[in-house]
Amino acid sequence: MTVPSAPRPAGFLVIAKDPLVVREVNDACRLGRIQNRLATVWDAREAADYLQRRGKHTDAMRVDLAWLDPDPLAAEEIAGLRKIADEKGTRIVVCDRGPAGAPGPEGLPRLTRPVDLPQVLRLLTSLEGFGLILVKVP
């Protein structure tokens, strides 16, 4: 296996109105000692601004993976976020209570809530352009 030159930590964005979704993603990452940068926004408009680095998010980090709770977003909002994400090279993953293994809205990959570390690891290793690097921590 070849490792691409200069891998960098992926930036994560959680898009959720429900604080429990944010907590589940944070807990799964913390339990797995996944120390990537993680930001949170609470609605589709703010998510669009964050992804496009507009308004109060002009200095936002680059987002590689967005965790999206589709409830209570309208289908048009999800489609709009997907379009922006595609333009920016960001992958969107749905976090909801839908059937495990079935695609989410817009055919997006799905994590079934409650989100846990094994699901996160399976997802990250299945996405093209993502990989895991183990490091020794002090």
Q: Return the domain boundaries, the chain.
A: 12-126
More confident residue, 121 or 66: 66
DSSP per-residue codes, 10-37: PPEEEE-SSHHHHHHHHHHHHHTT----
User: 12-126 is classed in which CATH architecture?
Assistant: 3-Layer(aba) Sandwich (3.40)
Residue 132's pLDDT band, with cuts at 50, 70 and 90, is low
What's the predicted TM-score (pTM) here? Answer: 0.81
Q: What is the pLDDT of residues 16-29, one digit of tens each?
A: 988 888 888 888 87
3-class DSSP assignment, residue 68: strand
